[in-house]
Amino acid sequence: MVKTRIGILGYGNLGRGVELACRQNDDLELVALFTRRDPASVHPLTDSVTVYAADDLAAHADDVDVLVLCGGSANDLPEQTPACAQLFTVVDSFDTHANIPAHFAQVDAAAREGGQVAIISAGWDPGMFSLARLYAGCILPEGGDYTFWGRGVSQGHSDAIRRIPGVADARQYTVPVPEALEAVRSGQMPELSTRQKHTRECYVVAEEGADLAAIERAIVTMPNYFDEYDTTVTFISQEELDRDHAGIPHGGSVIRSGVTGEQGEHRHVVEYSLKLDSNPEFTGSVLAACARAAHRLAREGQTGCKTLFDIPPAYLSPRSAEDLRAHLL
C-alpha cells in the first residue's frame, strides 16, 4: 500500500473535516498542519501531527505529498492555490461556480510551472454534483439539468458574510423553493431562473455600533453569492446564533429530466441526492479522496490543473483495480 503524506493548510471546520477523513483511511497519513494563527494555539485531534506557521510552508515542500487547502473561496483560495501549486501537489474545494474557469487557468499555469498536480473544486458542488450532472447529461442528451441545494448551511456564503466590515459572525442557509423542486421531480422540464429555485436566509451577528443597513445592503447585492436570489437578512445575538445555528448540515439534489423514444414520448428522471449532517466533514472526505488521486497522478508524472471530470474514478479509491472489478461492478 502506497502511503500519501497529507498536509493541511487552514484548521477551521473544513481542515478538521480533512483530518477526520485521514483517520478513516489507512493510506492517508496526516503529517503536517499549517496555520495563520499562532501554532502553539492550535490543538489538532491527531497527537502525532506537527503544527507549523503558514509562512513556513516552503520549507516543508519535501515532507508532504499532497497539500489540502482549506481556506475560503471568497478571498483565500484565489491566492493560495496558485501560490501553493508551484511548490506542492494541491487539492482545493473552490466553489464560486462563476469563477471556476478563471481559477482553473491561474492554477494550471502555476502547477505546470512548478511541475505539480492540482485538483480544484473538489467538494460536493462543485464536485460530486458536477459528476452527476455530467453522467446524466451524457445518458439523456434531450433534457434539462436542475440542481437544488439545502436546506442547509453554506460554508462559503457564511464565510463571505463574515468578511463584511461590521459582521462578527454569521450563518447562511440555502433553501430550495418547494414548488420548483416538486415540478422537476414530477418529470416536468420547467424553465427556472436562479431566483425561482432557491432563497437564501442569513442570520447575522453585528459588531456593536455597526451600520446594520449597510451590512444588509452589502449582503443582498454581493455578486456571485446573493445578488441573484431573494435573500432575507436577520440580525440576532451571538447567544442566539450559538444556540440555534450551531450545526452545519447541508445537502441537495441534482436532477436530470429527459426524454427518449421516436417522438420523445418516454420521460425519465435521474436524481442524485445528499443529506449531510456535517457539510465540512463530508467535503473534507471528498478532498481526502481527491488527495489520493492527485498523488497517483503526480507519481505518473502528470502536471497541471485537474477537476473531478479529469480523474479516473478508480484513482479516488484505495482499492486495487482487481478488487473494484470483483466487488463493485
Q: Are 122 and 95 in contact (CB under 8 A)?
A: no
Output the CA torsion sign for 321, 325, 328, 329: positive
Q: Are 153 and 173 in contact (CB under 8 A)?
A: yes
Output the CA torsion sign for 40, 45, 47, 53: negative
Mean of pLDDT values over 138-150: 95
Residue with cell 494541491: 90
Alpha carbons 325 and 99: distance in angstroms, whole number: 37
The pLDDT of residue 154: 87
Quickly state the pLDDT bin for 74 (edges 50, 70, 90): confident
Alpha carbons 258 and 131: distance in angstroms, whole number: 17
The pLDDT of residue 263: 96
Total-model pTM: 0.88
If phi > 0 it is left, if psi is from -120 to 50 it is alpha, else beta; for residue 89 that is beta
In the three-class reduction of DSSP (H, G, I as helix; E, B as strand; rest coil), residue 68 is classed as strand
- pLDDT at residue 303 above 90? yes
- pLDDT at residue 212 above 90? yes
Mean of pLDDT values over 32-50: 96
Q: Are 82 and 105 in contact (CB under 8 A)?
A: no
pLDDT digits (tens, 9 = 90+) for 26-37: 999 999 999 999
pLDDT digits (tens, 9 = 90+) for 163-180: 999 999 999 999 999 999
| Cβ atoms within 10 Å, residue 121 | 27
Mean of pLDDT values over 271-278: 96
